[in-house]
Structure 1
């Protein structure tokens, strides 16, 4: 059964590697991998392969990197692999000519409990919004993005200490197992796809842009803390300290008040840096000042003492 079912796998980033590795390990027949074009990176602008491409190369799987998914030559090449099933994990929107091609369909893995948090950045937004649980979903692709009939779902609790990095890794592993479960069920014709309930599409998860990452100190400390954890380690929440941009990677809410204005800070220039917010104070534990390395707050203050006003007022961020 495993060798008879011909699978094409589509994906690009690290999140898509674990499901591909698990399918290969379990002996499923991956006849080709489709991934993004190599991107120039670094000072030398040398082309860099995607994590999925590197994985496919390691296992000697044929690789396709089409600039245009609607190109006739690409579609003919895709058809020549005679795939029974296509699996999509963190790739890009597919034209109908691609997702409708295999007889057993094309399914996608999404890092949320669909239909909630449809969009490009569900891991970030569940944390930014302070959710206590999320999960992974497999679903058959159809015309509108993230709206297809659901195959399987698995929940994942969000811990207070989770950030985007740790939640990404947990959902990647849980998602890999769900992809394997879905492939096994489809191979046995043992699936019962269910329509998504539009009433449960409560939140959106659009792509994160730089303006989404700027800290608004007028918000409550708890909201800012969730923004920081939802964007850590990448792309990172940021603010200004003096004239320089500062990325913040770790924080906690401090149960104390001050007479500082939102955005002003208190520090002993040794062990702590507290920012006043619209409600409560926020302790910063890890940050990166423009032009400097990422570091713990004690190391940062030792090398970058902050100016402090006299009396009870703090510096201004």
Structure 2
């Protein structure tokens, strides 16, 4: 059997593992499309995408278009004569690109579609307190994340799992699913399940829009589970945040919160009150108990454990949230 000519499209670390899995499985990857190099960080040094770095190591042909409708890029893409394109964590593609190969364009999405269509499916699944998530492979159509499902794989979400934990699990499971899907397409034995057929089985569809700074602000008036889920659903990136407000005059201090534990209990403390011994623990009174902060970052400082933060911020009792 002639192996399909595959063009792979992706940019971040999440997209490296599926590309590596395809190569390890002996798939015929004839080119890689990734984002152009761009300046980043304080020094504005030119940074290469994780997928580009990996593709360079493997000696793969690389294209980095500024615009997908550029005639020169389209000619280069056509010249690769792809039978199938595989997209993982990449930009939206125009139809002239995704519809070019004989078998179309396969996408890996980090949710159990049709749930969590959009840019941040891992974050929102955790923020919403879901107990499971997964990955889906599907064929691209006009509307984002709406194509026919090929295969899915589920994983559980633990009560304290954060985005980093679930990201890494889905990256591994997703890599295997991409290889499985490509082999099924090669063999001509793959299902195509319209997402409408799956959406009947769920109560309500949840979306996964891009996350902005205001989405990350902690509302301490919410219940214990909601606050804990928000914090772990944004950790380590982009990270939830709050502000320490001085009791008298002074400037508010920004805090990012990365790790918390729930303490379910009845209490008579004012909601949002900071409870601390100034040395080893820092808790916030909320509806249903206390949020115990374990890892945080003061604006302009490094990320640190709570006890290290308190050691250097002994005026904590002069602040409130």
Q: TM-score, normalised by structure 2?
A: 0.94
Are the counterparts in 1 of residues 98 and 104 from structure 2 also a CA contact under 8 Å?
yes
Assess if the C-alpha contact under 8 Å between 1:219 and 1:279 holds in 2: no
Deviation, structure 1 residue 70: 1.4
For 1:154 and 1:265, the matched residues in 2 are separated by 42
Counterpart in the other structure of 1:54:
53
CA distance, structure 2, for counterparts of residue 46 and residue 290 of structure 1: 23
- Whether the 8 Å CA contact 2:137–2:152 is kept in 1: the answer is yes
Query: What CA distance in whole angstroms lies between the structure 2 residues aligned with 1:244 and 1:308?
Result: 13
Aligned to 2:142: 143
Matched, 1:256 2:259: no
Q: Secondary structure at the residue paired with 2:153?
A: strand
For residues 316 and 29 of structure 2, the distance between their equivalents in structure 1, rounded to whole angstroms, comes to 59
Candidates 270, 283, 290, aligned match of 1:274: 283
1:237 lines up with 2:240 in the alignment: yes
Q: For structure 1, which segment, 84-93 or 193-202, has the greater mean C-alpha deviation from structure 2 after superposition?
A: 193-202
TM-score (norm 1): 0.95
Q: Deviations over 1:6-55 (max 9, x none)?
A: 10000000100000001111111111000011120123311100000001
Cα distance in 1, alignment partners of residues 183 and 230 from structure 2: 38
State yes or no: 1:191 paired with 2:190.
yes
Give the aligned partner of residue 125 of structure 1.
Answer: 124
Q: Which of residues 219, 227, 235 is equivalent to 1:224?
A: 227
Aligned to 2:133: 134
The answer on 1:316 being equivalent to 2:320 is: yes
Task: Tell me the CA shift for residue 225 of structure 1.
Answer: 0.3
Unaligned runs of 5+ in 2: 246-251
Task: State the partner residue of 1:292.
Answer: 301
Q: What does residue 109 of structure 1 align with?
A: 108
Between the aligned partners of 2:91 and 2:212, the Cα distance in structure 1 is 18
Residue 31 (structure 2) aligns with: 32
| Distance in 1 (alpha carbons) for counterparts of 2:49 and 2:160 | 29
Contact 2:283 2:293 in 1 (8 A): yes
C-alpha RMSD over aligned residues = 1.3
How far 1:253 moved relative to its partner? Answer: 1.4
Matches within 5 A, 1:8-19: 8-19=7-18
- Deviation digits for residues 254-273 of structure 1 (CA, Å, limit 9, x no counterpart): 12344433222010011111
1:168-187 to 2 correspondences below 5 Å = 168-187=167-186
Matches of 1:307 and 1:202 in 2, distance apart? 42
- Equivalent residue of 2:317, what SS? coil
Distance 2:165 2:220 in 1: 25
Distance 2:59 2:84 in 1: 20
**Secondary structure of residue in 1 paired with 2:195:** coil
3-state SS in 2 of match to 1:308: helix
Distance 1:88 1:49 in 2: 18
1:183 Cα deviation after fit:
0.5
Question: Deviation at 1:213?
Answer: 0.2
1:247 aligns with 2:256: yes
CA shift at 1:175, angstroms? 0.2
Structure 1: which 5+ runs fail to align? 310-314
Q: Secondary structure at the match of 1:179?
A: helix
Aligned residues: 311
